[in-house]
Amino acid sequence: MPDPSLHLRLGRPEDARAISALARRVVRRWVLPDQSREAGQALLERLGARLLRERMLAGQRFHLAWMGELLVGIAAMRDDCHLVHFFVATRYQGRGIASRLWQRAMRDAVRRAGTRRFTLNATRCALPVYRHFGFVATAAERPSPNGVLSTPMVLDTPAGIIGRP
């Protein structure tokens, strides 16, 4: 059942600080335990507010979930086809927020670019969620180009999504 007080909107550069704080908090709790110290540190650095703001200004699409004034979820899409960041605040997990964010990010990319194939690098704890969305692994777990231990996955766009508003 969707939460009536949840609302989704596109991130703006002035949201970068809140995005960074949420992403770093979730990464520390859920992602870093599976990573080397170096990869974890580099990931935290890539989640700094200044870099995120630059990415947004360069056209990366940050879909944000808010519970009132509180930022509770982030889905960032690069080049309308690669899901770069996907985080939900710990105490709001398991309520369907990631599903809402993914539907929005996917439809936005399909509408903008006619995307047929999505890719991502899944951290261990998110694998079941991505499988549930229909993603399939294309290789075994390995360090991504950024050094994060993760599983490369793809999703071919469900036919029904094409052309929907």
Ligand X SMILES: CC(C)(COP(=O)(O)OP(=O)(O)OC[C@H]1O[C@@H](n2cnc3c(N)ncnc32)[C@H](O)[C@@H]1OP(=O)(O)O)[C@@H](O)C(=O)NCCC(=O)NCCS
| Choice between 19 and 57, CB closer to ligand X | 19
* Other CB atoms within 10 A of residue 83 CB: 24
Among 16, 22, 88, 155, indicate the residue that binds ligand X (CB under 6 A).
Answer: 88
* Per-position x/- string for 4-43, each x denoting binding to ligand X as judged by CB under 6 A, each - no binding: ----------------------x---xx------------
Q: Could you give the C-alpha distances from 137 to 104, 122, 130, in angstroms and in order? A: 22, 9, 10
* Residue 93 contacts ligand X per CB under 6 A: yes
Chain positions 39 to 78 lying near ligand X, rule: CB under 6 A, are none
Q: Judge contact between 49 and 19, C-beta under 8 A.
A: yes
Q: Could you give the C-alpha distances from 161 to 101, 111, 124, 143, in angstroms and in order? A: 15, 9, 27, 32
* Other CB atoms within 10 A of residue 2 CB: 10
Among 2, 132, 136, 138, indicate the residue that binds ligand X (CB under 6 A).
Answer: 132
Among 56, 126, 153, 155, indicate the residue that binds ligand X (CB under 6 A).
Answer: 126
Give min distance, CB of 129 to ligand X, in A.
4
